[in-house]
Amino acid sequence: MQQPRHRIRRYRRPLALAGATALVIATMASASSTLPAAGRATAGPVAAPRGTGLGPCRIPASMGVQMSEGMPTPPGYARSTGQIKALNLMIDFPDAQATEPAADRLAEFFPQTSDWFRTSSYGRLTYVPEAPLEDWLRMPLPFAEYGIERGSPYEPGYRKLVKDLVAITDAKVDFAAYDLVNVLVTPNAGPSALDTVLSVTFSGNDDAPFADGVPLANTSFVYSRQDDGSGSYSETGYRVLPHENGHVFGLPDLYTMEGGGSVGHWDIMSEDWGANNDLLAWHKWKLGWLDNSQIRCAAMPGTTEHVLEPLASEGGTKLAFVPLSAQSGYAVEVRTPAGNDEAVCRPGVLIYKVSSDVDTGQGPVSVADSTEDSGGCTRRPNVHAELSDAPFEPGETFTDRPQGIRISVLAKDADGHYRVRITRP
């Protein structure tokens, strides 16, 4: 079964979903959901070596959960370290002919997307975009005849669309030479993204159409521009593609039915519009961008102290994790206005719960708000303001009384490193 996404992005209403309760999973996420069979590559490190003490903190992927936050990421997704090659195809339709050069559409996303991944991964992912066909590719049918709807799975409209796209390009493109595919649709095809977001990714999908002997199992489609007129699109509009490609690497959607309020702007898999933002440290570990040596596991009873360095800087300890069960735990990291996080308005220690047994789009990650009901510290367009001031500062403590967990921020030194005390029964 596919995992489509229904999303409407507007200020103060960043997410809207539709569908009956029985179809919640079928109407929520932007990535396909067939649990993948063995594929060519996996995302991120496979396992923590013995002796690292990280075993209890590497909560495993849960069976039957769509795009689980657990580790390791199942096979079938694209590699998330080293060099990956992305095929970019620009398409239009007889009833929605492009009004600008295809090169301009490509330039909306590159080199910005490559730069974003290089910064977020500390140079561990080299994203190489290629566009061997430089002009628009005209589909044989009008857009309306493909029946593309928001969150449509690979059946029936997308399967026909991809079949036609392959027929047009296969003589000139070797699909087997690429790790992922981006289909950049002319922005005037379909509804405005301010009303209905059609952009979608099919990832880890072993039932995808084939081309050159390989399944198009990790393919992102990007449609109308998410331009709300605030003037930010030229700088931030590309970010829909790193979000969609995040699914290609096995990351779930973090926005929720309740309106995207569980993570806010602390991860691009939650909010990929408005100001720039990074990935959570948990995701960076999951993708192999953080080494096991940069993780601290607070699994034993008692009190431990940890010095955490800002996530945006390279090297140093980045994440402390407090396992609660085999499927969940608290992650602790430091976020500052640097790197991809230029819009952070309250630097400090971000604390959030990770659950590997919660489906994509259902809230697998939940950020703890140190300043509940404050209204936030930013008024940047299209940023979930309430959680913008979520990080904890020195002298503040997060407490989970039922679990007996206390996470206290003790101090910040001159280099911006935070000393954190974790107490557990």
Tell me: the pLDDT tens digits for 189-224?
Answer: 988 877 778 888 988 877 788 899 998 889 999 999
Q: Judge whether 79 and 179 are in contact, CB under 8 Å.
A: yes
Question: Over the range 189-198, which residues count as b (16 or more CB within 10 Å of their CB) and which as e?
Answer: bbeebeebbb
The pLDDT value given to residue 131: 98
The pLDDT value given to residue 157: 87
The pLDDT value given to residue 260: 53
Provide the terminal-to-terminal Cα distance of the chain, rounded to the nearest Å: 42
Right CATH number for 21-252 from 3.40.390, 1.10.3470, 3.10.450, 3.90.870?
3.40.390
Name the residue ranges covered by the structural domains of the chain.
21-252, 281-424
Here the tokens at position 132 are 């061997």
pLDDT at 115 over 70: yes
Which residues lie below 8 Å from residue 2, measured CB to CB, with a gap of 6+? Answer: 26, 32, 33, 34, 153, 154, 155, 202, 205
Asked, as a colleague might, if the bond just before 394 is cis with ω within 30 of 0, I would say no
106 HSE (CA, 13 A, CB side)? 17
**Tens of pLDDT, residues 131-160:** 999 999 999 999 999 998 876 767 788 899
The pLDDT value given to residue 257: 59
Q: Which of 20-34, 64-78, 294-308 has the lowest mean pLDDT?
A: 20-34
The pLDDT value given to residue 416: 97
pLDDT at 24 over 60: no
- For residues 76-87, give the mean pLDDT: 96
Top-ranked range on mean pLDDT: pick from 150-164, 219-233, 333-347: 333-347
CA–CA dist 271, 254 (Å, integer): 8
* 3-state SS class at 408: strand
Kindly state the DSSP code that residue 157 receives in the 8-state scheme. I
CA–CA dist 264, 343 (Å, integer): 13
What is Dmax (Cα atoms) for the chain?
67
The pLDDT value given to residue 102: 98
pTM of the predicted structure, to 2 decimals:
0.89
CA–CA dist 262, 364 (Å, integer): 9
Question: Over the range 115-154, which residues count as b (16 or more CB within 10 Å of their CB) and which as e?
Answer: ebbebbbbebbebebebebeebbebeeebeebebebbbbb
The pLDDT value given to residue 259: 56
Split at pLDDT 50, 70, 90, the class of 59 is very high
Which residues lie below 8 Å from residue 22, measured CB to CB, with a gap of 6+? Answer: none
pLDDT at 22 over 80: no
